[in-house]
């Protein structure tokens, strides 16, 4: 139902997984960590990418059907420090990243056969929403949201889980093609504060059930099943989430046992005020 990976703490460029590797068809993840003044060059083939600045500042140069140059990208000390800066990179692009400070950057990838323009997503472009209520309240930051024309397949965002709180509630899945549900692969790239904190990631469907204790710099890929998350007491958790599939439609199925949860949120919020 899922795959797990540990991202190395080393500096430089590392490929965590690529589209087409093993059971994955649609998703790729690379992580770039640079010291101030260091640079990295890469090239996309028939794939699109979203560069998400997790911490630090950088300059990005793209050359392809269109060329773009940006400097001073990134404004947060870590993923917990507000909304992200991101760059959409079209297929068949050459790219260079130069670190203007100590830098950590995630490169989310998906196959693409459509030419789209390079796009800067500034923190002010990210839509931040408070989702849920009570102990399943969390903050969701939509970087490339469902329905966005910025990308062909990629849907990208971040979720901030306060200590002890759940996300992915009510539990949902997106693995069975139908009129009401679209098949999408998804991964979570976890960060914890403190770094030795953890979350519990559940994945279940039918008679299959598993739980992962996930720590800082771990990645869980969801191929199918419901996948709620909870932050351990004393640990704040934030994860970068990325989805892609044949179609971009964000059509999901909620676990019918918990469909009532959403209907209680308005009442709970009113009582708390």
**Whether the predicted model's global pTM rises above the 0.85 cut:** yes
Please check whether residue 272 lies inside any domain of the structure. no
Please check whether residue 16 lies inside any domain of the structure. yes
Please check whether residue 81 lies inside any domain of the structure. yes
pLDDT of 168: 96
pLDDT of 269: 63
How far is it, in rounded angstroms, from Cα 125 to Cα 143? 8
* Residue-wise pLDDT tens digits, 135-165: 999 999 999 999 999 999 999 999 999 999 9
Please check whether residue 26 lies inside any domain of the structure. yes
Report the domain count for the chain. 1
* Residue-wise pLDDT tens digits, 215-235: 999 999 999 999 999 999 999
Q: Which domain holds residue 110?
A: 2-256
Average pLDDT (29-44) is: 98
Q: 193-197 long-range contacts, Cβ below 8 Å, gap at least 24? A: 193/78, 193/80, 193/235, 193/236, 193/237, 193/238, 194/235, 197/231, 197/232, 197/234, 197/235, 197/236, 197/237
CATH of the domain at 29: 2.60.120.10
pLDDT of 106: 98
Average pLDDT (100-118) is: 98
């Amino acid at each position: 139902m899922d795959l797990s990976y540990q991202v190395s703490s080393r500096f430089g460029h590392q490929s965590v997984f690529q589209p087409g590797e093993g059971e994955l068809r649609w998703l790729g993840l690379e992580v770039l960590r640079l010291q101030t003044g260091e640079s990295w060059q890469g090239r996309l083939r028939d794939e699109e990418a979203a560069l998400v600045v997790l911490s630090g500042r950088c300059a990005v140069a793209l050359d392809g059907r269109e060329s773009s140059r940006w400097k001073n990208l990134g404004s947060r000390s870590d993923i917990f420090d507000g909304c992200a800066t991101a760059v959409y990179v079209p297929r068949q692009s050459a790219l260079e990243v130069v670190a203007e400070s100590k830098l950590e950057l995630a490169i989310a990838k998906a196959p693409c056969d459509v030419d789209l323009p390079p796009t800067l997503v500034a923190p002010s472009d990210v839509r931040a929403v408070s989702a849920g209520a009570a102990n399943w309240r969390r903050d969701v930051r939509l970087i490339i949201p469902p329905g966005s024309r910025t990308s062909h397949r990629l849907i990208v965002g971040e979720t901030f889980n306060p200590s002890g709180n759940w996300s992915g509630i009510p539990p949902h899945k997106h693995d069975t093609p139908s009129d009401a549900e679209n098949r999408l692969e998804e991964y979570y790239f976890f960060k914890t504060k403190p770094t030795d904190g953890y979350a519990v990631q559940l994945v279940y469907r039918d008679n299959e059930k598993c739980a992962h204790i996930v720590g800082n710099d771990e990645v869980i890929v969801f191929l199918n099943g419901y996948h709620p998350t909870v932050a351990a007491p004393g640990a704040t958790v934030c994860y970068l989430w990325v989805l892609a599939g044949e179609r971009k439609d964000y059509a999901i199925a909620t676990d019918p046992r918990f469909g009532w949860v959403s209907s209680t949120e308005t009442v709970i919020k009113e009582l708390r005020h």
